[in-house]
Structure 1
Amino acid sequence: MSTRTAVVTGASSGIGAATARRLAGAGYHVYAAARRADRIEALATEIGGTPVVCDVTDESSVTALAAAVGDRLDVLVNNAGGAFGSAPVAEADSDEWRRMYEVNVIGLMQVTRALLPALIASGAGTVLNVGSTAGRVAYEGGAGYTAAKHGTKVVNETLRLELFDQPVRVMEIAPGMVRTDEFALVRFDGDASKADAVYAGVAEPLVADDIADAITWMVTRPAHVSVDELVIRPKAQAAQHKVRRVFE
């Protein structure tokens, strides 16, 4: 039997890089896809995978990813995404909103569309989309991101309906508070003080490897088992707006 294969987008850091490592550890040959060539080349060397420079918002780049993968694929993890800005709707930046929709929704669609034939050809493919609790609950200052992640959730639900008679499972993991090196920094345009404030007083937020561990569990269930949605938060986060913070 040939080696199982997986594509992980947004694999240059955070949840994507951790997922690539976990899947490689579970026996998959991982195609690590992201825009930053140096990062994914180093990761691929570490895990014995294949680096593919890919911008999920660019159709020609996604076509090249599909060509690199070939005719058969077992697992697709649509992890590429991001939040940009935190302005209220009355002060929203149109370009930031477009960027969030492009990467979290259009990019996810383009990669899925390009790789579906290979997933179907595997006979037991899995699409796992990385959503967010922001795709379920609105909060002030987050309208652009929550709208985009609600889009991720609905695309996931629709795709499952459309593929009900195909040998492909469609899953979503929706993380809550996860502390990674870059997510909050990117959102706040490099402002470390704002990024740190997100996690201030939270002793144990989730980390990238917690999500990667859960993703690996989801995709390695028997082929007839579909974990349609998995919402995962740190114990300290009872809800989007209710987080236990302890300051000494």
Structure 2
Amino acid sequence: MAEQKIALVTGASAGFGRAITRRLAHDGYKVIATARRQDKLEQLAQELSGNVYPVVMDMADSKEIEKTLQNLPAEWQEIDVLVNNAGLALGVDPIPNISLSDWDQMIQTNVIGLIHLTQLTISGMLKREKGHVLSLGSIAGTYPYPGGNVYGATKAFIAQFMLNLKTDLLGTSIRVTNIEPGLCGGTEFSEVRLQDPQKAKAVYDGTTPLTAEDIAETVSWIVGLPSHVNINRIEMMPVCQAPAGVAVARKIN
């Protein structure tokens, strides 16, 4: 019987992370589920009894990330799949009106926490000569839009980081993938970003967006491919969305 593989999923208390945790557990993985909200993690662990190890971890705290990995029980330390899902967007104000603390928090969580966790996890993968690192990027890293500023920049960083990571790992068996979704509903993303439930709901009015389950299905497909196949990056949009045209500001005399 094949040894049960271990996945680590960040931001597992809701949205993409929760759906990915459920799907990987269904696929036969043992999942280390990390997030800041202990109650949500414990509910998920109870639901998926025996297949989930819940860990409270803040991706904005690099020292906590390192301590968490060091303190994993021996039977949970050999991570085969890392899913860098945790991240956030804060605000949609243009640059003159932005909050620098919001920018700092997005960079600390979306970029610094992600690269620190990735580096620490890859060390073990290299020793075992196997592994797969997936990150949740965004089409915001490719297509700019008003108010996207630093959030889009963090996702552009992730896209380039993952391509460079794959290059650094050339000659090893470790796989590297960036998943770049477009409009996705059924998560807390817009509520966190806008801090207004009505405005968050309006983002999806009249649309059929992607769902967290769509993202989880994609993750399941990617990690389930033969070990010689690497998906570098995959861009996903709902049918109701398309890349925007180049904007032009016009003055009317």
Q: What SS does the aligned partner of 2:144 have?
A: coil
Amino acid at match of 1:76: L
Q: Aligned ranges for residues 26-175 of structure 1 at < 5 Å? A: 26-47=27-48, 48-67=51-70, 68=72, 70=74, 71-175=77-181
Deviations 1:173-228 (A, max 9, x none): 00000012311000012x012111211111x1111000010011111111110011
Distance 1:76 1:69, change over 3 A: farther
Match of 1:195 in 2: 200
Q: Aligned ranges for residues 156-235 of structure 1 at < 5 Å? A: 156-189=162-195, 191-202=196-207, 204-235=208-239
Contact 1:124 1:223 in 2 (8 A): no
Amino acid at match of 1:42: Q
Match of 1:239 in 2: 243
Of stretches 125-134 and 137-146 in structure 1, the one that deviates more from structure 2 is: 137-146
Distance (Å, rounded) in 2 between the aligned partners of 1:211 and 1:168: 21
Distance (Å, rounded) in 2 between the aligned partners of 1:78 and 1:198: 25
TM-score (norm 2): 0.91
Match of 1:17 in 2: 18
Distance (Å, rounded) in 2 between the aligned partners of 1:211 and 1:72: 24
Identify unmatched segments of 5+ residues in structure 1: 243-248
Of stretches 21-30 and 112-121 in structure 1, the one that deviates more from structure 2 is: 112-121
What stretches of structure 1 move > 4 A for 4+ residues in a row? none
Shift of 1:164: 1.1
Of stretches 66-75 and 138-147 in structure 1, the one that deviates more from structure 2 is: 66-75
More strand by share: 1
Amino acid at match of 2:111: V
Contact 1:3 1:29 in 2 (8 A): yes
Shift of 1:59: 2.0
Once superposed, what is the RMSD of the aligned Cα atoms? 1.5
Shift of 1:123: 2.7
Distance (Å, rounded) in 1 between the aligned partners of 2:244 and 2:201: 17
Higher alpha-carbon Rg: 2
Shift of 1:13: 0.2
Shift of 1:142: 1.0
Shift of 1:89: 1.2
Distance 1:174 1:150, change over 3 A: same
Deviations 1:73-116 (A, max 9, x none): 11000000010000001212111111111111111101101111
TM-score (norm 1): 0.92
Shift of 1:240: 4.8
Distance (Å, rounded) in 2 between the aligned partners of 1:61 and 1:157: 27
Distance 1:185 1:164, change over 3 A: same
Of stretches 151-160 and 24-33 in structure 1, the one that deviates more from structure 2 is: 151-160
Aligned residue-pair number: 240
Distance (Å, rounded) in 2 between the aligned partners of 1:132 and 1:60: 26
Distance 1:44 1:241, change over 3 A: farther
Shift of 1:140: 0.7
Contact 1:6 1:29 in 2 (8 A): yes
